[in-house]
């Protein structure tokens, strides 16, 4: 029998896995790929973004609630999930920005904090790892640290001289960054909404796009996963404290999304196999390598 393919997706907080690459994960799970979500923090300092749940009893038990939400989302996506155990840094606001809380994830030494992820990589033995780019997808300190430890662990996991007490070396073969809303994607969704006679939630984004920059040209890999957009949305709604079910993320009907932009997009940043870009499969080059063994 061919070796089972394995995908590890490293995320900063519970709910990130459901908003970044979730349909891709659900697609690969349906195809028999083993998928492990790694959640760096417990999301203890996250906001309650669902107005229906913005209550004192929720705030008092937010850590336990977010774990339960993660359990529900994990079951919906059909993935495995592991916690790294770091403490949420919160998103500092104000001018000047306040310092991060002592002991939080964003203040950890990168090489030390990469250790638990190296251990997981050596235990789970992923062929592919996905994470965020150098600015975290958006500049939250936990997202940026998630990027840093993911890259560090990817580079260390296969080196027998690094972290020798954390298991037998295992070198993942490909590392990807999740690419979210490129300008082309936003324009396509915006125009599709207008063509359908609906109000677009992206008009303000496009008016201010010059302030955002565009990472669209960095996309190397597009995964056709429109059939799994409903699974993605169900998983996202499972994070009930973090997502308003009547809010922005659900304003574009699924049929519009499927026609206008049926893929989730990634940037290939490290590869140990021959896999010319553009790609349509995170395991391109890996399937051939494994089947040749």
Strands 128-131 vs 263-271: parallel, antiparallel or unpaired: unpaired
d(CA 104, CA 29): 32
> For the segment 216-253, what is each residue's pLDDT rounded down to a tens digit?
999 999 999 999 999 999 999 999 999 998 887 899 99
Q: Indicate if the alpha-carbon torsion angle 173, 177, 183, 188 is positive or negative.
A: positive
Q: Determine if residue 147 is labeled as part of a ligand binding site.
A: no
Predicted TM-score (pTM) of this structure:
0.96
Q: Indicate if the alpha-carbon torsion angle 223, 4, 155, 111 is positive or negative.
A: positive
Q: Determine if residue 291 is labeled as part of a ligand binding site.
A: no
> For the segment 278-291, what is each residue's pLDDT rounded down to a tens digit?
999 999 999 988 76
Q: Phi and psi dihedrals of 267, rounded to 5?
A: -115, 120
Report domain extents, the chain. 6-180+218-291, 182-214
Q: Determine if residue 13 is labeled as part of a ligand binding site.
A: yes
d(CA 130, CA 25): 10
Q: Are 12 and 87 in contact (CB under 8 A)?
A: no
> For the segment 139-178, what is each residue's pLDDT rounded down to a tens digit?
899 999 999 999 999 999 999 999 999 999 999 999 999 9
CATH number, span 6-180+218-291: 3.40.50.10320
């Amino acid at each position: 029998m061919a070796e089972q393919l394995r995908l590890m997706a490293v995320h900063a907080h519970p709910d990130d896995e459901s908003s970044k690459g979730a349909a891709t994960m659900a697609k690969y799970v349906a195809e028999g790929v083993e998928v492990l979500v790694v959640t760096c923090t417990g999301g203890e300092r996250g906001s309650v973004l669902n107005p229906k749940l913005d209550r004192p009893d929720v705030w008092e038990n937010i850590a336990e609630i977010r774990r339960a939400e993660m359990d529900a989302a994990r079951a919906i996506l059909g993935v495995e999930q592991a916690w790294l155990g770091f403490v949420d840094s919160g998103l500092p606001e104000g001018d000047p920005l306040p310092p991060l809380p002592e002991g939080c994830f964003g203040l950890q030494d990168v090489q030390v904090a990469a250790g638990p992820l190296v251990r997981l990589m050596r235990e789970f033995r992923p062929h592919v790892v996905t994470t965020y780019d150098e600015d975290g997808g958006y500049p939250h300190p936990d997202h940026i640290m998630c990027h840093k430890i993911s890259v560090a662990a990817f580079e260390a996991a296969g080196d027998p001289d690094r972290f020798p007490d954390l298991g037998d070396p295992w070198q993942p073969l490909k590392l990807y960054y999740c690419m979210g809303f490129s300008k082309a994607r936003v324009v396509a969704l915006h125009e599709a909404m207008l063509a359908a006679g609906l109000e677009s939630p992206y008009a303000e984004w496009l008016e201010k796009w010059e302030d955002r920059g565009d990472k669209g040209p960095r996309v190397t890999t597009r995964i056709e996963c429109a059939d799994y957009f409903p699974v993605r949305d169900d998983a996202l709604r499972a994070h009930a404290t973090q997502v308003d079910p009547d809010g922005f993320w659900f304003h574009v009907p699924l049929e519009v999304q499927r026609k206008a932009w049926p893929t989730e997009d990634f940037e290939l940043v490290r590869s140990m196999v021959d896999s010319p870009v553009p790609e349509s499969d995170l395991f391109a080059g890996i399937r051939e390598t494994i089947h040749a063994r």
